[in-house]
Structure 1
Amino acid sequence: MLMNKKLTGFICMAMMITMALTACGGGNNAASNAGNKKDTEAENTLAAATEGPKYNFRLAETHPADYPTTKGDMKFAELVKEKSGGRITIDVFPSAQLGEEKSAIEQVQLGAIEFTRVSSSPLGEFNKEFGVFSLPYIFDNDDHVWRFLLGDAGNQLLDSLSSSRLKGLAYYSSGSRSFYSAKPLTSLEDLKGLKIRVQENQLNIAMIDALGASATPMSYGEVYSSLQTGVIDAAENNYPSYFSSKHFEVAGHFILDGHQRVPEVLMMSKTAWDKLSPEDQAIINEAALESVAFQREEWAKYEKESEEQVRAAGATITKVTDVTPWQEAVKPVIDANREQYKTILDAIDAAR
């Protein structure tokens, strides 16, 4: 009887110790379970992304491989590959290998190329709403531009591209545009009578005419030789393009008037977009938007480096401290187009 009581006591004590140990380890088990659940969810998400058809797309880019917009393209392609578990790949073709911007837009419309990154200036010839960015001096600075682009009006503009058989995905930075020439440029008067290269856009032509110069539409790849041989006297662009194209070698006078702030647009063929599942469309959208911050950072760095390089090479840089005479000269262009772009211009003013 005594042995039974002792045995019973030992059993009870063992059970109590086991229960205590289980209770003490409960928190660790819960944490472990939560961790396992998260791992499982991540695995499921990746598995879902890797399911479905495989795609290999092409992206047309005008600029060289080390240019900020091209780096933005490549970041976008990297994010798409990552988010799709390698199922969707995008090959970026820099340096106009697939054609200059106008040609690339046409090929994307047809679905011959799936993606491109272009300036919103030539895009205005395919979608009139984007012509607003070619109006001079409508933005005060870079902050003003991005307040507008990241707002509702900017998103609506991207959505409007669907009527042109294009899918707008995101905006990239391109700084401000100014004039440069082989001839000295120190004031508005120095532009008078010059033959100036512009992008193929009617508003650009109207702006140059209003400034008293002669507009010469021309593809980007022809500008260097045309400046060198005197076919044109001047051109206009931003610091990075002025540097990377080596235009400073044949046009060493740069006047910073900042007449336009024309954003870049990353877009996809509407034909190709419509063939994607909603899940794949979400992957493309998310990757495009996530690539914007990276591209803007790359732009800011390259812009600073470009300025330093062209100054070191001996280019003469003149900063316009009072843009009032320039604004007055182009006022007829703004007035002639105000009604057409009234809603967008109002939104730009509101972003100010």
Structure 2
Amino acid sequence: MSAAVDRQRRRVLQGLCAAGAGAVFGAGASDGRAAGVFTATDVHPKDYPTVAAVRWLGETLERQTGGRLRIRMYHAGQLGRESDTLELARNGAIDFTRVYTGALNNAFPLTRALCMPFAFDSVAHQRRVHDGAVGAAVLRGFESRGVIGLALYDSGARCFYNTRRPLHAPRDLAGLKLRVPPSDIFIALIRLLGGNPTPLPYGQVFSALETHLIDGAENNLRSFHASRHFETARYWSQSAHSYAPDALLISKRTFDGLKPSDRALLTDAARASVRVMREAWDTSEAESRRALEAAGVAMNTVDAAAFRRAAEPLVRELLADPQLRALHAAIRKAA
């Protein structure tokens, strides 16, 4: 991040923090958080499906309330990393944040059920689970720590990409330094597969690849393309080792400050935004695949059975938790 961008981010954050919890709905707010204006943030660029879905959510609220409620979106990490924005939301300094669940595993243990390796067989399987009892249970689990879970945005299959070679079996990961989110699950998984896990914020991956701090990472195809990581990492291996989703969260302080009718409007619109996000995702993922193929990225399949076997010790360890075991059983039943 450049010094100028960092200074701008600091100015925005200072204004938002000065507003305090609930000021977004107060009369005559004069510090940049106007009455009825929600603040939302995402680390992804403005055309990313999750950003588009939250923008649609804001437009829907504005239309339904005659302009009384609306959303101001700060995309592309303008307000910081996901860990930063989560804390800002918990403290009421911002209202909405979209966070990858892999980065939430330690603070919100139920999200581990959605991030376990090879829990899901496909996007269709994942969407059935998100729309059912398991998804509802995970969303309820956020409330205990200062945020409300509004929606789960699926984000495709997470796979490996790197600067060195195609990965066909776990042995091919040997010696590779691979970026992972700050999650015990992903750190343990990479170790089991033979790689060297390197936790880094998403926004630092591009420079880390260029400077050879890391050899690769794991993420979905759309992010691989949108982040331009493919310009350095020329090998994509379709491991589909995780379908960990994103979560759309709102500050509990903000949510509790709404009158009941507005809470209902917001909740319904957030649920409806899932369809918008999925449609945008499916379209953009196909476009990303075509663009990556045209750019000459080497794309290969893997020995899926070998990857599953290597991950089994981690799965067994996670299933020792009764709550995770029950959620995992429901996930597999929906396969």
**Which residue of structure 2 lines up, in the alignment, with residue 136 of structure 1?**
117
CA contact 1:148–1:348 (8 Å) conserved in 2 = yes
**Which residue of structure 2 lines up, in the alignment, with residue 20 of structure 1?**
none
CA contact 2:45–2:75 (8 Å) conserved in 1 = yes
Unpaired runs of 5+ residues, structure 1, are 1-51
Work out whether 1:300 is the aligned partner of 2:282: yes
TM-score when normalising by structure 1:
0.83
**Which residue of structure 2 lines up, in the alignment, with residue 91 of structure 1?**
72
What does 1:249-328 align with in structure 2 at a 5 Å threshold?
249-320=231-302, 322-328=303-309
- Secondary structure at the counterpart of residue 87 of structure 1: coil
Displacement after TM superposition at 1:64 (Å): 0.2
**Which residue of structure 2 lines up, in the alignment, with residue 195 of structure 1?**
177
Displacement after TM superposition at 1:313 (Å): 0.7
- Secondary structure at the counterpart of residue 296 of structure 1: helix
Displacement after TM superposition at 1:296 (Å): 0.3
**Which residue of structure 1 lines up, in the alignment, with residue 195 of structure 2?**
213
What does 1:126-205 align with in structure 2 at a 5 Å threshold?
126-188=107-169, 189-205=171-187
Q: Distance in 1 between matches of 2:196 and 2:115?
A: 17
Largest Rg, 1 or 2: 1
Q: Distance in 1 between matches of 2:104 and 2:179?
A: 17
Q: Deviations over 1:227-284 (max 9, x none)?
A: 1111101111111111111100100000001000011111100111111110010111
Bigger helix share: 1
Q: Deviations over 1:18-59 (max 9, x none)?
A: xxxxxxxxxxxxxxxxxxxxxxxxxxxxxxxxxx97411100
Q: 1:70 aligns with which of 48, 51, 64?
A: 51
Q: 1:116 aligns with which of 97, 101, 108?
A: 97
Q: Distance in 2 between matches of 1:144 and 1:345?
A: 13
Q: Distance in 2 between matches of 1:295 and 1:149?
A: 13
Q: Distance in 2 between matches of 1:104 and 1:186?
A: 34
Displaced runs of 4 or more, over 6 A: none
Q: Distance in 2 between matches of 1:317 and 1:111?
A: 43
Report the residue type matching 2:326 in the other structure: T
- Count of equivalent residues: 300
Displacement after TM superposition at 1:285 (Å): 0.5
Q: Deviations over 1:178-205 (max 9, x none)?
A: 0001111131222112110000111110
Displacement after TM superposition at 1:327 (Å): 0.4
Q: Deviations over 1:82-136 (max 9, x none)?
A: 1111101110110010111111111111111111111111122321111222211
Q: Distance in 1 between matches of 2:311 and 2:134?
A: 25
Q: Distance in 1 between matches of 2:301 and 2:56?
A: 34
Report the residue type matching 1:351 in the other structure: A
Report the residue type matching 1:66 in the other structure: D
What does 1:9-28 align with in structure 2 at a 5 Å threshold?
none
Q: 1:57 aligns with which of 26, 30, 38?
A: 38
**Which residue of structure 1 lines up, in the alignment, with residue 16 of structure 2?**
none
- Secondary structure at the counterpart of residue 214 of structure 2: coil
Report the residue type matching 2:296 in the other structure: G
CA contact 1:84–1:283 (8 Å) conserved in 2 = no
Identity of aligned residues (%): 35
Report the residue type matching 2:50 in the other structure: T
CA contact 2:167–2:173 (8 Å) conserved in 1 = no
Displacement after TM superposition at 1:306 (Å): 0.4
Displacement after TM superposition at 1:339 (Å): 2.0
Report the residue type matching 2:325 in the other structure: K
Report the residue type matching 2:191 in the other structure: D
Unpaired runs of 5+ residues, structure 2, are 1-25, 28-34
Q: Distance in 2 between matches of 1:109 and 1:126?
A: 12
CA contact 2:61–2:269 (8 Å) conserved in 1 = yes
Work out whether 1:81 is the aligned partner of 2:70: no
CA-based RMSD of the aligned residues comes to 1.2
- Secondary structure at the counterpart of residue 158 of structure 1: helix
**Which residue of structure 2 lines up, in the alignment, with residue 351 of structure 1?**
334
- Secondary structure at the counterpart of residue 279 of structure 1: helix
